[in-house]
């Protein structure tokens, strides 16, 4: 595991967004379900499909909602049957109605993901507040405290590296490398989130020539685990901002 003693201090951050009509705020959640971890994204593989996804995470299970061209479907993770909720019927009805309204609101704001990404970039530049370019609109001020990243050194091996999501379960990410300044394409390691512990797991590509990479397998995996922890876990700045934005849209903050 990454060394938590190397985590940088938490930082307050403010951001201004146009969140639309706040539809989900009209559907209050039961007290026991009022503090989920939230994440939403657009499926950008086919821009004509107008498909977005919402994940509502609790310690015991997750609710996933998919909206494709205005039609929503939902299922559960963390239960033996994806169609069976771990919560009572009344609580499930409240949660599902709230989540469907939140997705409907999110569909009205396709620019919101880009705004959140831009806000995270402003945060990483050390700026305390983000304000997007916008037409006149009712704007909301979202305030949060962003967890500090784990301090890590820049890439000290040879060549250049990059990382990207790949198809697979548990947020699978691949580390790619190139000996030249060209865009890295050679896979040297991958990482994912252990569903049992929530911690990152790393694995080296078996055909990697570590002498050419100029870092050992162990050094590379340690560096990659830190990068994964900073950019692909719930405490990544972008994810924390998205969670705060969705919570405000949903009337939870």
Integer Cα distance of 29 and 216 in angstroms? 50
Integer Cα distance of 39 and 26 in angstroms? 20
Tokens of 241: 């901002």
Return the pLDDT at 140: 96
How far CA 5 is from CA of 124, 146, 184, 205, in Å, comes to 20, 17, 31, 29
Return the pLDDT at 2: 59
Burial 204-233 (b: 16+ CB within 10 A, else e): bbeebeeeebebeeeebbbbbbbbbbbbbb
Compute the CA torsion angle 131, 135, 137, 139 (nearest 10 deg): -10
Q: Rounded to two decimals, what is the model's pTM?
A: 0.74
The answer to whether the beta carbons of residues 241 and 120 sit under 8 Å apart is yes
Return the pLDDT at 1: 57
Phi-psi region at 159: left, alpha or beta (left = phi > 0; alpha = psi -120 to 50) = left
Tell me the average confidence (pLDDT) per consecutive run of 10 residues in the chain, 253 residues long.
Answer: 73 96 94 94 68 91 89 91 95 97 93 94 94 92 90 92 84 92 90 83 95 96 91 82 96 93
Return the pLDDT at 50: 74
Return the pLDDT at 44: 62
Per domain, the residue ranges of the chain are: 4-147+235-249, 160-231
Return the pLDDT at 198: 74
Return the pLDDT at 236: 82
Helix (H) or strand (E) holding 145: strand 140-146
The answer to whether the beta carbons of residues 225 and 2 sit under 8 Å apart is yes
How far CA 43 is from CA of 3, 110, 142, 152, 246, in Å, comes to 34, 11, 25, 31, 17
Q: Which of 80, 81, 82 is nearest to 63 (CA)?
A: 82
Q: Which of 114, 8, 103, 90 is nearest to 64 (CA)?
A: 103
Return the pLDDT at 70: 78
């Amino acid at each position: 595991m990454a060394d938590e003693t190397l985590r940088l201090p938490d930082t307050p951050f403010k951001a201004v967004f146009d969140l639309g009509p706040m539809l989900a705020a009209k559907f209050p959640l039961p007290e026991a379900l009022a503090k989920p971890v939230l994440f939403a994204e657009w499926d950008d593989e086919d821009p004509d499909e107008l498909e977005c996804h919402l994940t509502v995470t609790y310690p015991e299970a997750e609710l996933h909602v998919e909206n494709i061209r205005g039609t929503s479907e939902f299922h559960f993770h963390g239960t033996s049957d994806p169609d069976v909720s771990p919560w009572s019927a009344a609580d499930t009805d409240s949660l599902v109605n709230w989540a469907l309204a939140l997705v409907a609101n999110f569909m009205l704001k396709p620019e919101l993901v880009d705004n959140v990404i831009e806000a995270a970039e402003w945060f990483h530049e050390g700026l305390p507040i983000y304000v997007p370019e916008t037409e006149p609109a009712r704007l909301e001020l979202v305030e949060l405290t962003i967890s500090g990243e784990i301090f890590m050194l820049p890439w000290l091996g040879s060549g250049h590296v990059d990382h990207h999501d790949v198809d697979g379960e548990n947020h699978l990410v691949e580390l790619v490398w190139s000996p030249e300044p060209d865009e890295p394409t050679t896979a040297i390691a991958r990482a994912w989130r252990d569903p049992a512990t929530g911690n990152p797991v790393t694995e080296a590509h078996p055909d990697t020539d570590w002498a050419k990479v100029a870092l050992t397998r162990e050094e590379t995996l340690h560096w990659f685990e830190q990068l994964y922890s900073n950019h692909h876990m719930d405490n990544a700045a972008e994810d924390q901002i998205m969670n705060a934005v969705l919570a405000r849209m949903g009337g939870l903050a």
